[in-house]
Amino acid sequence: MNRRIAGLLMVCLAPPGWTAWQFAEPLEIAPAKPGVFHHLDASGRQSLAVSAGRVAITWEDNRGGAPRCYVAIGRPPALREFRFGQADCFELGIAALGGGRFALIWSETAGIHVALADGKGVKPATRLATTGTQGVLAYHPRPGLFAAWGQAEGRWQRLYTARLAIRGGRIATGTPGPVDKAAPQDAQMYPALAAGAAGICIAWEDRRKGHTAIYASWSRDGTHWAAPSQVNEGSQAQSNIGRGTGAMRPTLAPFGRGRSAAVWLDKRDFLAGYDVYAALSEDGGERFGGNIKAQDSFGDAIAQWHAAVAGNAKGDLAVAWDDDRDGNPDIWLTWLTPQGFAENISPPPAHTKDSQTDPVLALDAPGNLHLAWIERGPDDSSRIRYLFGRRLP
């Protein structure tokens, strides 16, 4: 059976107890224009958030001749676009706060900045660091708002975090500190951050062993961090592949009552390229369990890219990525069931003759899916699309 049709059938006929969605018509968030290229490249794949029914999507494009940052906020189908940051603005991310508000983080030539945003626009910015890259945010009502980013230290990039406070219409920053107390032995890159009632979890791409691995740490207060531990398995050296296989681009999501999920791209099956792997934690990220492959056997022979994960307090967990198992890059989804990850589906609007890549997603409280991605046409133009999926019983 054609995988596109199979995916549609899975949406409509999912077995009881599985999470599946009925999809609406997609929206165009940022239209295609000649010579304009859109990027959804937030560290941890955090470019979309939902708060009190409002959806916010952040991206960077070059419509003004230089990379600039944008956010679209509203209740679909009415989303209003706002520009923020200075020219050469990039690596932007977002976190949902309560009451339809959001926190933004981005990099520009003057350093890393943070700001609040709502349906009326982006509030005045606060500089978090004079230099740095790959900033990411996480928020939970109990521990609060936190940021993590990379900062050059000698030869290597080292990860720092800071607790943030919301004061009126601005974000105030606390004293930053390194996650790993030991000086870096190699680069620490692409942080992902998750906040839950029990504390804060951070994961990142680490090269201390001479190849990329996924490391994580946990903190109760966002200041004092546990010694890092490796999350991905099976990275020992194998014949003719150097010091070990690669794992990269971690993402994190809290879900359920105190649970967390880490998802990343893993090259342990090095002949087929990267696969999507996950590890679950029952204690908010303090310890992660064994690794689980998220994509099904139909995707085993080809490479997966741009893995993202989202969860909600109800206990739903969804994973998205893109791959070309049907001969063209498409967006694929799976979700956690009591038996493991479900057979993958591709929403029809994200499975077309054009290239569909770079998914970002969120799950709201009832389990509805909010998905955005980049569509590239035959003329290499790009646009950002958004899709709502109503959860089926």
Residue-range domains of the chain with CATH: 3-391 (2.120.10.10)
How far apart are the C-alpha atoms of 284 and 257, rounded to whole Å?
9
Mean pLDDT of the chain: 92
Token pair, residue 49, equals 């958030």
> Cα angle vertex 387, ends 138, 53, to 5°?
55
As to burial, measured by CB atoms within 10 angstroms (0-12 exposed, 13-18 middle, 19+ buried), residue 67 is buried
**Quick one: pLDDT at residue 195?**
96
Residue 172, helix vs strand vs coil: strand
**pTM given for the model:** 0.93
> Which pLDDT score is estimated for 236?
54
Instruction: Write out residues in the chain with pLDDT < 50, as ranges.
Output: 1-18, 237, 239
Tell me, what's the pLDDT at 378?
86
Q: Which residues contact 283 (CB under 8 A, 6 or more apart)?
A: 198, 258
Specify the pLDDT at position 198. Answer: 86
The two structure tokens encoding residue 335: 């979700």
What three-state secondary structure class fits 218? strand
The whole-number pLDDT of residue 277 equals: 98
Given its phi and psi angles, is residue 241 left (phi above 0), alpha (psi -120 to 50 degrees) or beta?
Answer: alpha
Q: How far apart are CA 144 and CA 91, in angstroms?
A: 22
- CA–CA distance from 101 to each of 78, 134, 186, 194 (Å)? 16, 22, 37, 18
pLDDT digits (tens, 9 = 90+) for 317-339: 999 999 999 999 999 999 999 99
CA distances in angstroms from 358 to 46, 88, 385, listed in the order given: 11, 21, 11
CA distance 216 to 229: 6
